Every structure is written in structure tokens, then in C-alpha cells.
Structure 1
Amino acid sequence: MTPRLTLINRDYTRLWFGQAVSSVGDAVFSTTLVLWVATVLAKDETWAPMAVSGVLMASSAAVLVIGPLAGVFVDRWDKRATMLLSEAVRGALVALLTVVSFLPADALPAGVWLALVYATVLLLHAAGQFFSPARFAILADLVTGDADRARAAGIAQATGETAWIIGPPLAAPLLFTAGLQWALLFNAVSYGVSYIAIRAIGTGPSATGGDARGASRKPAARPKGGLRREFTDGLRFFARSRFLVALLLLAVIGQFGIGALSTLNVFFTTDNLHAEAHLYGYVGMAMGIGGITGALCAGRVVQWFGARRSTWISLLVSGVLLVAYSRQSGFLAGVALLFVFTVPLTVLNTAMAPLLLAAAPPDYRGRVMAVFYPVTKLASMLSAVLSGWLAGSVLHGFTGSVGGVSFGPIDTIFAVSGLVVVLSGVYAWLSLPGTPTADEAAADTAGKDAVGTAAAPAHRPPHHERGSIE
């Protein structure tokens, strides 16, 4: 018997393979740049940490500035062609930096090198803001049904986690034995592989509902306005959808509740878990393995409980586990609990994918993601800054006890964060409205949109009135 070598369907498998290779390349690229800037370009310089943080700021700037506008163009353009162009642009950018990197490090001033690195990272992530919503939109045509869509999101999560387990260990040997240029070239080639895989989608009868070339199904015809008007229409549609607003609030609250881990977990490991700093890598490994486990289980969980119920259950369980983690004082127990905590957290991310896909009509999917992702990214950044500020100033040196249980600054922040996540789970349980289909949402939008051509019905149930629907 010939083994089955497809994931969900053939076209999705091609998309997954391209992204798997590209994700490993991105992990190698990101790790290599940080290592090169820190250990070569800015070696022994007092400004080294600031130079490294510039790489992260460049990527965040692209998300926050380009992301909201990119969705308008993605909704206008052919989705498959947009993905292909994005991969071609990103591959060319990395190839250009690769050519320059053959120069010795002292051939150019450090400021010029940093400008080249920051500009490349900024443009790469700017192109990525077009790729991600286009991929989100075409995924809705490639994969149907909540369970399969959650499974697809779970596979993507697991692949991303695996890439970040594989990529960084590859980056250091490539950088220090072969050189910067070969690590960069690896990423450029990975974009080429992704381009070929995406181009192969839909070469026959397409699961995308497009033509023989695999173009994504065209959205329903509607009048086009200028960039500003279409952007405003997208914001208006999002604001009128009770379900989308509820999902965004849940994501933002979750980011504020969980984001403290990214900033303070290294200090929690050394101070509260009483572990040596060199053991911190095992904390990240535990979260990576937990993410893979949760991603692989997510499809089955959504199939059992449904996407909506899986969302609030995952929030409740994650919040409780984060509170429990904040009370740990031993390294092994802490790592084990962090692994368990990451499983429902990843299930949450994958359960939201089919909800988002169902909530967004085809001609609004790009703009829906262009609102959702930058706002959650901003929430994550603010959470990291806020938790660092609280630990370093307001709660610095804080100690207390309740019922014989002692508290310090970091475990207090983690405990409060866990309670915030629990409250968001309760909110999701009580407040998520019903979920009409994307076609119903599109029909509602046609009646309410400022550029719509039909009048709205005189009366609809409350959760339909606002264009409401992972």
C-alpha cells in the first residue's frame, strides 16, 4: 500500500511544505543576525544590547505601520499572486544582503552595517505583512470545516515551534564555521523553495475554488473606493462584528496576561526556581515541546468540543496553570508545569483560527487580519514593557504574604497575569455571541457598508446586526 503523504489535502500539503522550509530559514536568519551583531559587529561595545534590540524594533515597526494598510491591497489582489510576489521580494532582499556580506566586517562602518541589517529586516517583515493575510485568505479555500481548519492551524503551530527548535542550533555553526553569508544564503534558498511550492498549488482542479492556475476565489463584486475608503470600510466592518471584537478583546487580554513570561521568565528561573542561568535554555525547550504537543492535539480537541468552547476552556486552563507556575520553587517542577501550561495555550491559538476564518467574508479577510495581528502584536509589546517596568520599579524589592504564602515581585506579576487570563476565559464563556457563516456576514456587510448596493433588512437577530460572523 502506498503511504499517504498528504496533510488534509494535496494543495495544503504543498503550502505547508513551502512554509516549513521557509520557517526554518527564517529561524536561522533571525538567530544569525542577532549573533553576528552581538558577537562580531558590536563585540565588546557598550551599545551592543541597543544594536541587537534594533533588529527586533525593525520587525515590530513593519508589523505596526505596514500591517494595517496591507490588508486593503490583499483584499484587492489575487491571493496566490500576492504570496508569490512576497516570497520573490523577500528572497531577493536576503540575496542582496548575502552578496554584501561577503565583504569583511571592517570594510564598512558599523553604522552602515546596522543600517543595512535594519533596512533588510524592516523590508522583509513589510513584505510579510502582505504574505500572512493572503495565506490566511487562501487557507479558507484550501481547507473547509472547523476541525480541519483547526488541524491546519495546529500543524502550522507545530511546524513553527519545530522550526525554532531546529533553526537556532543550525545558525551558530553556520555563522562561526562557514560565515555570515552562508547562513543568509540558506534563508534566500528557503524563500525559493516556498515560491516553488506555492506556485504548484492548484495546478489541477483546485481546492481553492479558483481557476486552473490556482487563483483564489474572487470575492463578490463590490464598488472599489480609494485606499483610505477601503481601509475605513475594513475598520467599520471589524467594529460592527460583535464576534470579531470579542475575539480581539480575548487575544489582547490574553497577551497582557501571558506577555510577562517573555520578559521576566529568565529572572523567575534564576530567582524563584533557583536554577543556574545556563539552564534557562531548557525552559524554552519545554515551551517548544509543549507548543508542538498542543498544536498536534488541537484539531482533535476542536472536533470534540467545537472551536468556541475550546477557546474559553483553553483560556481558563491556561490561566489556572499560570497561577500554579507562579508558586513553583523547584526547577524540574517549574519546567514540567510550563510544558503543561503551553499545551492549552497553543490549543487556544489554533481554536481561534477557524473562528476568524468563519467570521471574515472572502473580500474582507485581508483587512480582518490586518487589524487583528497588529493590535495583538502591540498588546504583546506593551505587556512586555509594562511587566518589565513593574518588576524594575513599582514592585522592585516587594515582599508580602497572604495566609502564610509569601510573594515576591515576579511571582506576583505572574499570578496576577494568570488571574487576568482566567477572567478572559470567563468573559469568553459568557459573552461570545453566535457565529453566522461568512456568507451571512458578507450579506450583512453589503447592506450596512457605506459602499454597499443593497439596503439592510428591517430586522435581524442581535448577533447578525453587526455583521458578525482562527
Structure 2
Amino acid sequence: MPSSRFHLINRDFTRLWTGQAVSTVGDYVFDTTLTLWVATEVARGKPWAPVAVSGVLLSVGAAVLLVGPLAGVFVDRWNRKRTMLRSELVRGGLVAALLLFSLAHGLPVGLRLAGIYLAVFALNAAGQFFAPARFATVGAVVAGEADRARAAGIGQATTGAASIIGPPLAAPLLFTVGVQWAMALNALSYLFSYLAIRSVRVPASEASAGAAPRVWRELGSGLRFYAGHRLLVVLLAVSVITQIGMGAVNTLNVFFVTGQLHATSGEYGFISMAFGAGSILGALLAGRAVGLVGARSAVWLGLVLTGVLVFGYSRQSSLLTGVLLLTLAAVPAAVLNTAVSPLILGSTPSEYLGRVIAVFNPASQLAGMVSVAAAGWLAATGLAGFHGELAGLHFGPVDTVFAVSGLLVVLAGCYAAVALPRRSG
């Protein structure tokens, strides 16, 4: 447990963060190891191995889209600290069960894959209860727009750091000691998170449990609240537009780097590391940025700057300038993502927070999934072989998608500047 002498914002947030940091690293190790395990062992040598791997990602998406909105109803009625604790125990138990399942080597491949998909779905379904409960708890133990932005920034920076630390650990664990050790590590990370959360002091008004919810009625009530709240509707619209733009960049970036930036596939890692470093820097600066200009301005300015830099990235032809532009783009992107949290917390009554997050996150993820599919189709078929000139600039298939993506994000920023209400309440 963290020492009382070390506080990021306050004692309770520090303990929440400590649990998050350990469990997030465990999740990245587990996710990467699971992908490698399916690709290199479970479906080894099969022509449908890529489809088997994509099944893992589809299981994650299905949990978010199917369980997420309903989970928000229960989170708004249940004791939120207890919800987090039980979610961690359930997730730890599911990983332990998958560990035992992985030891059954004689099972048919189809049955092994079905077990993996079911476990991944259940893990992420439990996560749909944990995430909004944690979001609401952070809002309860951290007060003020600037500190809430700082808390969101620390959380985002932690996730970014885990995405850099976790995956490189996965391959050595899998190929030297086996997939079971990665699963054991993840199960222990959930136990650590459970112990950290257990020591958090939650205000009495947030800790009390409500009556059993009437699920469909209360889901409808939450949707009506969301639809009638201008700030939340604008934030969701902005998030969807941004996901569409940035999802295309994430999907096609490897082709842009190896094509237009004339880099090798081995050098692609520098781009990923650069974006991760920029994201961490932006997340850590977010609290100060929100304190200077406010969360509202941080959102629309971050969108405009990100879009301009992504458009500039689309025009690059060397790896060095590409790395520089994408690193710079990651900074305002992280700031705007972080600034959204205090806006939602400041404008949403506590009894609706679970349902609000359960609408916002799945809708944003769905937009990202649509963007991934659309970007792949455009680059492979719709814009295949495309070459054009505009204002003296040459455009090919992938950089055209990137340029349009950057412009979409700029338009989202302009829309946010006009449509976001001056006051979050």
C-alpha cells in the first residue's frame, strides 16, 4: 500500500491510482500474451489464424457494446466501492479459471478458442462495471475542475506508460516460462488492486447502495437525461468525430510509415513509442492546462491543434519529421481527452454518472470500430491507386485519408468551440 507521505492529489486518489497502475500493467501483459498465444500456439499453422486473433478483439468489443450500457444502470444503484471490489475479485477469478483451462492441452482447437473468447468476454463485461464505478469514485474523492483534470491526466499517463511497459514483457513470458505465468501475474494484479481499493475512504453519500434497479426503465431514464443535456451531447458528438478521424490514422499508420515516410517495418516502433511519449507528456500537462484555460477551452483548442498537426503529419516524407509531428500531435490529443473528465463530472449528478459513462464509452468505441473498417476499405479499394493534386500538393491513398482525418478533427474543434456551453452545469 502507498505510504501516507506520498500523495499524488490526496491519500484516497493515490490508493486508487496505485491499484490502477499495477492492474493496468498486468492487463497489457495479459492481452499481448493472449494474442501471441492464440496466434503462435492455439492456431499455429492454420490459414485462419488471423481470424482467430480477431475473435479476441471482437469479444472485447462485444462486451463493451452489449454489457456497457446495462452495467451503468447497476453502477448508479449499487455501492460503488463494493462494485469495484467485487469486479476485481470476479476478474481475478476468471483469469485463474482461464489459467486452469489453458492446462488442458488435449482439447479440440475449436473448444479452446471458444473458452478463450468466453473468458475474454466475461473479463471485459466485468470491466464495464468497474470502469464507471471507478470514474464516479474519483469524482467523489477529488474535487475541483483542475484537480479532476489532473487526476484524469495521471490515469491516462499511467495507461500510456503501461502500454509501453507491458507488451515488451509479454513475449519473454510466453516463450520462456509459458502463458500460465502471464495469467498468474494478471490474477495477482487484480488482487493487488482489490487491496488498494479496499483502503479507499469513500464519502458516505457515494458509498450507500440504492434499491434494486428496474433495468430498462432506468436505462431509458439515463438515455433521456443524456439526450437532454447539451454539454454531454456535444462531448459525445465531438468524441465520435474524433474517433472516426484518429481511428483511421491508427489503422493505416503502418502503411504510411513504410510507404510515404520511407521507413522499414522495424522502424515503425519508433512512431508508436513517440506517440506514447507525447500522450504521457500531454496527460501530465493536462491539469495545468485546464487550470490556465479551463476544461471547455482545453477541449476545443486541443481538437484544433491535434487536427492541424495530423494534417501536417500527412504531408511528411521522412521518418524524422514524421516522428516529430506525431509526437507533437499526441500532446494536445491527450490534453483534450483528459479535459473531458472534469466536464462530465461537473455536469452530471452522481446518480446518473454510471449511465452517462456507459453511454459515452461504448458509443465512442463503436465509432472507432467503424472508422477502422472504413479506413481499411478506403485504402484497399475505394482509394486504391488514387493520385491527385490540390493547391500544388500531391495526394495518394493513405495520406488522403490522413489529411481528411486531420480536417475532421479540426472541424470537431470548431464545433466544440461554438456548441459547448460556457458553464458545465
State the TM-score bracket (shorter-chain normalisation). Answer: over 0.9
Write the deviation string for residues 239-281 of structure 1: whole angstroms up to 9, x where unpaired.
0001110111111111111110121001001111111111111
1:61 aligns with 2:62: yes
Q: Which one has the bigger helix percentage?
A: 2
SS of aligned partner of 1:46 = coil
Q: Read off the aligned partner of 1:21 and give its amino acid letter.
A: V
The answer to whether the 8 Å contact 1:243/1:434 transfers is: no
For residues 49-91 of structure 1, the C-alpha deviation after alignment (integer angstroms, 9 at most, x for no partner) is 0000000000000000000110000001000000001000000
Deviations 1:398-447 (A, max 9, x none): 001123311001100100111111111111111111335xxxxxxxxxxx
What residue in structure 2 maps to residue 268 of structure 1? 256
Matched with 1:228 is: 216
Q: How does 1:16-415 map to 2 (within 5 A)?
A: 16-104=17-105, 107-202=106-201, 208-210=202-204, 216-218=206-208, 226-415=214-403
State whether residues 224 and 230 of structure 1, in contact with CA within 8 Å, keep that contact through their aligned partners in structure 2. Answer: no
Partner of 2:14: 13
Q: Secondary structure at the match of 1:398?
A: coil
Structure 1 CA distance, aligned partners of 2:345 and 2:391? 47
State the shift of 1:375 in Å.
0.4
Q: Deviations over 1:187-232 (max 9, x none)?
A: 0000000000000111xxxxx322xxxx83549x8x9862111010
User: Quick one: distance in 1 between partners of 2:288 and 2:5?
Assistant: 19
SS at match of 2:385: coil
Give the structure 1 partner of residue 410 of structure 2: 422
TM-score when scaled to structure 1? 0.88
Q: What are the ranges of 5 or more consecutive residues in structure 1 without an aligned counterpart?
A: 203-207, 437-468
Residue 234 of structure 1: CA displacement?
0.2
Alignment partners' CA distance in 2, 1:137 and 1:35: 34
User: Deviation at 1:4?
Assistant: 4.2
Q: What is the one-letter code of the residue matched to 1:340?
A: L
Q: Is the 8 A contact 1:141 1:217 kept in 2?
A: no
TM-score norm. by structure 2 comes to 0.97
Count of aligned positions: 423
Aligned to 1:283, what secondary structure does the other structure show?
helix
Contact 1:315 1:425 in 2 (8 A): yes
RMSD: 1.5
Runs of 5+ consecutive residues of structure 2 not aligned to the other structure:
none
Distance 1:3 1:197, change over 3 A: closer
Aligned-pair distance for 1:102?
A: 2.8
Q: How many angstroms apart in 2 are the aligned matches of 1:402 and 1:423?
A: 20
SS in 2 for 1:406: strand
Does the 8 Å contact 1:72/1:231 carry over to 2?
yes
- CA, structure 1 residues 217+108, in 2 after alignment: closer, same or farther (shift >3 Å)? closer
Alpha carbons of structure 1 residues 167 and 385: separation in structure 2 relative to 1, 3 Å: same
